[in-house]
Structure 1
Amino acid sequence: MLMNGWKGKLYWFVEFVTMLAVLQFMWIGLTLLGVVLIGITPATVGLFATLRKRLQGEDDLKLLAKSYWKSYKTDFIPSNKIGIVLLVTGYFLVLNFRIVTSMEGTLGLALLTLMVMILILYAVIVMNIFQVFAHYDLPFSRYFSTSVLLSISFPVQAAGSIMGLYVLYRIFLVIPGLLPFFGVSLTVLFLTWMSSKTFRLKAELDGTLPSEEICK
């Protein structure tokens, strides 16, 4: 049923909010289905892929749900490889950070500075890698390097993503009741929207159309 004016806008808003809530609950369910540890990465990758389709114009919730489930199954093992690398790397970084913070003197300060730089690099990879994985079909190791290169090549977009994440953090801090319904889905939607701009800029600089890139 086609509606115009404020009724049409209200209908679109309610439908959009419902979609985010449903996808959030699917993310929770699929994460639990993989016993959390091996479920969270494919569930997150699938959510990025699904919301990418939504931004491309797909608005049928049933089709989006089917697409989410398909992506979860297809990318279960490849995405978990990335998750394992991130988890192990993060564990050792935190361990080393605690050791470095206990050191004193010039050497301690130098190592602390180095560790902070490495942690920032790690945070950039975590912020970008799922979007890169959902968008591109690349060799395994290139997902990590591409995540870093995109932030270096497009610093304005990277800064915008960080600022947006901070704003969302403040909103969820003020209204924690939103977290169970929109915490993950809204965050992923924002990052997907920002990354779509980055991917389009990259395609323009490379002299290709987005459809001509090596995409999934």
Structure 2
Amino acid sequence: MTFEGWKGKLYSIVELITLLAVLQLMWIGLTILGLVLFGITPASVAMFTTLRKRLQGEDRLKQLVKTYWDTYKVEFIPSNKIGIMIIAVGYFLTINFQIISTFQSMMGLISLTLFITISIIYGVMVLNIFQIYAHYELPYFRYFAVSILFSIAYPLQMIGSIVGLTILYLIFNWIPGLLPFFGVSVTALFLTWMSSNIFKKKEEAEKQINYASV
């Protein structure tokens, strides 16, 4: 059954809301299934992969749920290699902040400046790495480098993402009841949408280059 006009738009909105709620529940469930520590990364990768499919035109809920589950199973071990690295670096930064906070005078200022710089790079990497992982097949360590270079190459996209995430934070802080049902899924959808146009333009440019070289 298809709807036209305002009914069609309303149906699409309801369908998207349903999808986001289902994906959120799957993310929570599969994160717990992986004992949280080993479940959060494959669940997040599956989330970004599924939402990328949705933005590319796939709108069948059953198929999207299948994509999520299949991606989670396939990427459980590979994505956890990245997840463990992210957690390890985050833990390292936390410990170092506690040490740096005890420094005094010029040494403390220099150490704090260096720490803030590294923390910003780390934050940028985490912000992009799941999108990069869902879109490209790269050697393990290149995901980290490309995630950082992505923000340098497209600063407006990064600024827009930060502004959007700030707005989402304010909304969820204002209506905390939305967090359990849409917190992760809406955030992932926003980040996927922000990067989708860049990926699309990049693919079109690569096709034109390949066509011209033939």
For normalisation by structure 1, the TM-score amounts to 0.93
Quote the Cα distance in structure 1 between the aligned partners of 2:29 and 2:38. 13
In the alignment, which residue of structure 2 is the partner of 1:102?
102
Quote the Cα distance in structure 1 between the aligned partners of 2:96 and 2:6. 56
In the alignment, which residue of structure 1 is the partner of 2:72?
72
In the alignment, which residue of structure 2 is the partner of 1:56?
56
In the alignment, which residue of structure 2 is the partner of 1:130?
130
User: What is the percent sequence identity of the aligned residues?
Assistant: 61
Quote the Cα distance in structure 1 between the aligned partners of 2:112 and 2:123. 16
Q: Is it true that 1:208 corresponds to 2:206 in the alignment?
A: yes
Quote the Cα distance in structure 1 between the aligned partners of 2:70 and 2:8. 31
C-alpha deviation, 1:9, in angstroms: 1.5
Given residue 46 of structure 2, which amino acid in structure 1 is its aligned partner?
G
Quote the Cα distance in structure 2 between the aligned partners of 1:132 and 1:159. 17
**Inter-CA distance 158–201: structure 2 relative to 1 (3 Å threshold):** farther
SS for the counterpart of 2:199 is helix
In the alignment, which residue of structure 2 is the partner of 1:187?
187
Give CA-to-partner distance per residue, 1:20-61, whole Å, 9 cap, x none. Answer: 101111111111111111001000000000000000000000
Quote the Cα distance in structure 1 between the aligned partners of 2:72 and 2:4. 36
Quote the Cα distance in structure 1 between the aligned partners of 2:144 and 2:55. 24
C-alpha deviation, 1:101, in angstroms: 1.6
SS for the counterpart of 2:58 is coil
**Inter-CA distance 98–198: structure 2 relative to 1 (3 Å threshold):** farther
Quote the Cα distance in structure 1 between the aligned partners of 2:65 and 2:203. 29
Moved segments of 4+, more than 4 Å: none
Give the alignment's Cα RMSD to 1 decimal. Answer: 1.3
SS for the counterpart of 2:141 is helix
Quote the Cα distance in structure 2 between the aligned partners of 1:63 and 1:80. 24
In the alignment, which residue of structure 2 is the partner of 1:2?
2
Give CA-to-partner distance per residue, 1:108-131, whole Å, 9 cap, x none. Answer: 101100000000000001000011
In the alignment, which residue of structure 2 is the partner of 1:24?
24
Aligned length: 209
C-alpha deviation, 1:191, in angstroms: 0.5
SS for the counterpart of 1:208 is helix
* Higher deviation after alignment, 122-131 or 98-107: 98-107
Counterparts in 2 of 1:28-47, with a 5 A limit? 28-47=28-47
Give CA-to-partner distance per residue, 1:176-205, whole Å, 9 cap, x none. Answer: 11101100000000011111123234445x
In the alignment, which residue of structure 2 is the partner of 1:15?
15
